[in-house]
Structure 1
Amino acid sequence: MTSTNPHAQSVGLPVRQGIRGQSPYGAPQLDVPYLLNTNENPYAPPPEVVASIVHEVTQAATGLNRYPDRDFLDLRTDLADFLAHESNVTLAAENIWAANGSNEVMSHILQAFGGPGRTALGFTPTYAMYSEYARNTLTQWAEVQRNDDFTLDLEHATATIEELQPAVIFLTSPNNPTGTALTLAEIKTIADAALRVSIDGAPALVIVDEAYAEFRRAGTPSALELLATYPNVAVTRTMSKAFALAGGRLGYLAASREFVDALRVVRLPYHLSSVTQAVARAALAHSNVLLGKVDQIRQERDELVRWLREQSYQNKSLIVSDSDANFVFFGKFDDRHALWSALLSHGVLVRESGPEGWLRVTVGTPEEMTAFKSALVKELSQ
């Protein structure tokens, strides 16, 4: 359709400063046989879980002329029950918040506790979206570089917290893209430093992002254990990964009731649809079944780490980060994009993430891992 407005082609849009010229975040979505770039669970929900979801969604559909339960206490109770079973930490429904993926939970956090004149702090390399949450809420973003082995320099971290006085501090355990987990002692050190910050008379908040927590190795703790003694700590989780529910879009948070109540102020009305709540509750009712593949993914991950460390590039062994997640970070390559493209030519899609020279591969099915290994060996031998 041709516009009759003579200025239609010449007038721009008043895009605000800060996002002008920016591109939307997102991993490549390509139609290839082996999708190993977005840390999805490679195993689809089994038929009995699908049937349960269909039943619950059908029930919800009969009431779609009405708004959903705005405070979704039944879902929050189910999430609290799951955490009690998974991490042996008892929480009330009022200690839980949920949204459309942990991305929306993070946005709620910075809407409530960030904003102009406030700073959010992260430890890079880490999840790239944190800086975008900050940008979108007009929160200043600051970074502390991790050590070469991707651990935290705690002395430098605490000094930076004292200097910058951030309102919100993001810790990621297991970290994305490196897969490395934090100890409770490390988290406590950051939480203690945050308590010495004064933001309008209140301490800084420490957000421990545990999106991949269900994949952690035996003995690796959850920061949920700190909630009772550190009221400035919150823990975020997701059902996208271990629950094989990436398409369901349900993320959640555990924190003090006061913290959750602040998020309730900034959330949009009825932000969780009746369908989303029904899907999540049905999945939680089958958590043992859905998490049944977690041990297998852990075993595949540990085998992949071992195998990668046996490979070489330019006569040097590959460097492989220890992983408590469902992905593995490996390098270093002179031209990682060239290797990424070469793997793609074999139908294997991995992720260019983190510092130059590194790639991240999601742990897939045995068939997918065989395809990845075969393609990588062929390309490294070129």
Structure 2
Amino acid sequence: MELLLQFLSNTGFYLADYRNFVMLAIGSLFVYLAIAKKYEPLLLLPIGFGVLIGNIPFFKGFGLGIYEPNSVLHYLYFGVTTGVYPSIVFLGLGAMTDFSSLLARPKLMLLGAAAQTGIWVTLLSAMALGFMPKEAASIAIIGGADGPTSIFLTAKLAPHLIGPIAIAAYSYMALIPIIQPPIMRLLTTRQERRIHMSEPREVSKKELMVFPVIGLFLCCFLAPASIPLLGTFFFGNIMKESGVVDRLANTARSAVIDTATIFLGLTVGASTQGDVFLTPKSVSIFLLGAVAFSIATASGIIFAKIMNLFMKEKINPLLGAAGVSAVPGSAREVHLVGLKEDPTNFLLMHAMACNSSGVIGSAICAGILWSFMM
């Protein structure tokens, strides 16, 4: 009987408290949204299942938990805490990105830059609420709507906040279809949403091959701390555009990025143990993240409207919402909102130009914040 009672006292049923059940409910919700609603399943399914794994109670000292040295999850989590997984994801993103629409209309880069306003407004807001500067910088980067960038910067500045910041960043990326359309409709008129963009010029192969080299120099000389992200991003892109290493480019945009995404999502989810995750700070981070993402969306739209005051050929202001770096979710949502107003208005490729510039912009902001806060 004593052995039986000892066994029962070591089971998850005995060790669980309300925080574990709260997080298990959240993880189950993520899995449901990924499978039933298809909200960014590549992100929410690994994260949601990771939350379930991380919140099964266990007996301490067995080397099971993600925060216990020498555990399997701890070793897998190493790629998060060192920034390895985000850099690999950026390599794959670079190998998937087509800059032709951006090079055809370079002025759309300004919308990607304008959308980063959410980062700086949130930085000041977080500091005003009492967060330390490094914590505030990590929270602010959620405004870029870029999960890997958020994780990378947080790992460098505030590793104790990786769980809530990563969950917040990926949650808002997955909820783009819910968050962005109301803001788009609120800040634009029906006439503005129906603006057609003219066909872009044809971009030469030489331009596409030269751009990643020039982009690397311009961005990384400006913010050297962004090299781990943008260095791999532009390397992936030149592999794609050069055409001489197709096998490497295909691997980068398939097996490599998929593997990194699996372990990144799973371990980030597993890091949300109830006793570590459920704190007043986590609630504040979620609220500030929502503010950051909303401001970033609104900033891009408003800046597009300001540009239209001085331009003969008008820009559809919806494109400004794609200035955040949630690729390709925000570009797809801009396209869908435009189609609802006019079934002949195809904005996807133009929105991808803003989207890709947003990826670069958020990585530069992360590099600047890292260099200032260290």
Which TM bucket (shorter chain)? Answer: under 0.3
TM-score, with normalisation over the residues of structure 1?
0.25
Using the size of structure 2 for normalisation, the TM-score is 0.26
Judging by fraction of residues, say which structure has more strand: 1
Select the structure that is richer in helix: 2
| RCO higher in structure (CA 8 A, sep ≥6) | 2
